[in-house]
């Protein structure tokens, strides 16, 4: 039987990922990767031709058990670093009858009930919409979705299984008509930034900032399969 989160003292419900679980998971992954590294290096050297042959030879020149113990130790340390980073980047949500607070990267955003129209899940992201249909927030969320939905509805907030405006989106291509002036240029820049989003944090931040600029023009963006989909909420849509 599923348990609905119970409000804490003061009437609010706190939801956050387990810091211990995140760190332990990352440490375990790092340890496994470290243990497998010498094996992979030996397999590479057994091939007639292999990339990174020099580093593989250097690695396997270290005698056992020092080699495996060393790579496991490096993997554990890397896992610890990754785990602490994941905890820092993870989203926590505080739900009260009168407001909701999202906290990530030591930064908190508080939204009053009158500002919020609906919450919904978009892939791995939690999205808040205002009464005007514009996005108030969009954050990567690792929380249990059902527990989050239960907490929100228990406090009287509205939860939707998907974006209630999903049918209004249309795929963006360069020069799409009917968008506010400047929107096409921002979408082109965002498409370019998203090409490097998985490889550099500054690209991801640039894409995030461009999403904010588009919202100021009244354009909401949804990403799917590497494509951008848009809907116009408000503003001058000539051009």
Q: Report how far apart, in Å, the C-alpha atoms of 176 and of each of 18, 45, 82, 215, 236 are.
A: 44, 53, 41, 17, 15
Position 78 scores a pLDDT of: 92
Looking at residue 200, what is its pLDDT? Answer: 59
Give the class (CATH, top level) of 90-160.
mainly beta
| Token pair for 64 | 């056992």
pLDDT in the model for residue 197: 56
Q: Is the peptide bond before 70 cis (omega within 30 degrees of 0)?
A: no
Q: What is the pLDDT of residue 49?
A: 76
The pLDDT value given to residue 134:
95
Please report, for the chain, the start and end positions of each structural domain, with discontinuous segments joined by +: 18-89, 90-160, 166-232
Render pLDDT for 194-207 as a digit per residue (tens, 0 to 9): 886 555 566 788 99
Task: Please write the tens of the pLDDT for every residue from 88-100.
Answer: 778 999 999 999 9
CA quadruple 123, 129, 132, 134: dihedral positive or negative?
negative
Kindly state the average pLDDT of the residues 99-125.
93
CB atoms near residue 210 (< 10 Å):
21
d(CA 20, CA 132): 39
Please indicate, yes or no, whether the overall pTM of this predicted structure exceeds 0.95.
Answer: no
The 10s digit of each residue's pLDDT in 208-237 is 899 999 999 999 999 998 899 999 996 544
H helices of the chain, in order, are: 19-46, 53-60, 66-89, 145-154, 183-195, 201-216
CB burial class (10 A; 0-12, 13-18, 19+) of residue 77? middle
| Backbone phi and psi for residue 125, each to the nearest 5 degrees, phi listed first | -115, 140
């Amino acid at each position: 039987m599923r348990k609905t989160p119970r409000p804490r003292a003061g009437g609010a419900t706190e939801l956050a990922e387990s810091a211990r679980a995140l760190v332990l998971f990352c440490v375990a992954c790092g340890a496994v990767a470290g243990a497998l590294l010498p094996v992979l290096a030996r397999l590479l050297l057994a091939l007639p031709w292999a990339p990174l042959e020099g580093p593989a030879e250097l690695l396997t020149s270290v005698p056992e058990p020092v080699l495996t113990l060393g790579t496991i130790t490096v993997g554990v340390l890397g896992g610890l670093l990754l785990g602490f980073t994941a905890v820092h980047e993870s989203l926590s949500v505080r739900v009260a009858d009168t407001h909701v607070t999202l906290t990530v990267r030591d930064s908190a955003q508080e939204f009053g009930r009158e500002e919020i129209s609906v919450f919904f899940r978009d892939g791995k992201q939690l999205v808040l919409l205002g009464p005007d249909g514009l996005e108030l927030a969009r954050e990567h969320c690792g929380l249990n979705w059902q527990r989050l939905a239960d907490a929100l509805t228990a406090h009287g907030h509205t939860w939707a299984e998907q974006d209630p405006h999903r049918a209004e989106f249309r795929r963006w291509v360069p020069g799409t008509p009917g968008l506010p002036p400047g929107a096409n240029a921002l979408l082109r820049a965002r498409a370019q930034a998203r090409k490097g989003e998985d490889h550099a944090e500054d690209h991801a931040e640039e894409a995030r900032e461009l999403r904010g600029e588009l919202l100021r023009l009244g354009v909401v963006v949804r990403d799917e399969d590497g494509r951008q989909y848009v809907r116009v909420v408000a503003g001058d849509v000539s051009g």
